[in-house]
Amino acid sequence: MTKTSTSKNNVNLPTHSMFQPKTDIESDAEIDLFYDQIRSKLDRLAKNPQDETINRILAYSKSK
């Protein structure tokens, strides 16, 4: 028979601060920064997609 035990102290439990959500302002600022970084690439893709991108979309739509 194997004897097991459970620790009485909480050394393995995550701290409460690890799960606190960011404030809306911090989250919005982070999203805005990300969008600003990728905006030009998104605009270019929407206006002039590569042939490979179009072919992938068509192949995916035919497979469904």
| Nearest C-alpha neighbor of 55 from the set 42, 43, 47, 63 | 63
In tens, the pLDDT along 13-34 reads 666 555 666 667 778 888 899 9
Are 37 and 30 spatial neighbours (Cβ–Cβ below 8 Å)?
A: no
In tens, the pLDDT along 35-49 reads 999 988 888 877 877
pTM of this prediction?
Answer: 0.35
pLDDT at 5: 67
Confidence of residue 50 (pLDDT cuts 50, 70, 90): confident
pLDDT at 9: 65
